[in-house]
Chain A
Amino acid sequence: DIVMTQGALPNPVPSGESASITCQSSKSLLHSNGKTYLNWYLQRPGQSPQLLIYWMSTRASGVSDRFSGSGSGTDFTLKISSVEAEDVGVYYCQQFLEYPRTFGSGTKLEIK
C-alpha cells in the first residue's frame, strides 16, 4: 500500500498569513500519462470532507484561488495564501493512483 505522510503546521497561524502543508508519498504518484494522482481535501469541523485540489495542482470548482497545490512525484505542498477563519479544519492528502486508496493522517489548521 502507498503510505502518505503529512507534516504539521505551527499552529495557530495568524489571520492573513500564508500556510503550507506538506505531504509525502512512499511511491511516485506520477503516471505515465503525465498526471499526478493526488487529491487535497479540507474537512471543516462537523462536516464531510470537501475536495480542494485534484491532479496535484488543479483547483476543484468553486475553490478559492488562495489554495494552490504543487509538488513532484512524491513530495507535495498545499499552500493557503492569506488564511481566513473559514479555512479552519483538517487537511488531508490522498493518493488515487492505486487501490487501496490511502489518505495522509491529516494536518490541523488553527487561526489566530
Chain B
Amino acid sequence: QVQLKESGPGLVQPSQTLSLTCTVSGFSLTSYNVHWVRQPPGKGLEWMGRMRYNGDTSYNSALKSRLSISRDTSKNQVFLKMNSLQTDDTGTYYCTRPTEGIVDWGQGVMVTVSS
C-alpha cells in the first residue's frame, strides 16, 4: 500500500528556514517521482517542485531561489528546505506521487510562519 507522510515544525519564524520531510512506503524513490505542493489557507494549490526517480530536481520558478529538494533513498525520505520564510508561506504542504492514472497524496502538514 502506497503511503506518503509529511512531517515538520508547525511553526516557523519569519526569515527562518523551513525543513519538511516526506516519508514514503509501498514504493521505491528510485522508481517514482515525488512532488511537493502547497496550499495557503482558503486558497488554491501551488506546485513547488519535484524529485525525480533518478535524483534530478525541478522547481517552481517563483520559489527556485529559496527552495531545495533532496532525498535519502535508504530512509525512503524526500526533503524540502525553503529559506527566507514570510507570512505568505503559511499553509499546508503536501508531498505527492503522481503516476499515470494515480496520484497519491500525503495528508499534508500545516506550517504557520509567525513570530
Contacts and interface: CB of A to CB of B under 8 A. Distances in A.
Interface in B67-115: 94, 98, 100-103, 105-108
Interface string A37-76: 0010101000011110010001011000000000000000
Contacts of A90: 44
Given A48-B94, A48-B105, A58-B101, A100 B45 contact: no
A50 to B, nearest CB: 8
A54 B108 contact: no
B44 A105 contact: yes
Interface residues of A, number: 24
Contacts, number: 51
A11 B22 CA distance: 37
Contacts of A1: 61
A2 to B, nearest CB: 11
Contact of B44 (A50, A51, A100, A106): A106
A101 B47 contact: yes
A102 interface: yes
Nearest to A101: B47
Interface string A1-37: 1000000000000000000000000000000000000
B65 interface: no
Interface of B: 35, 44-47, 49-50, 58-61, 94, 98, 100-103, 105-108
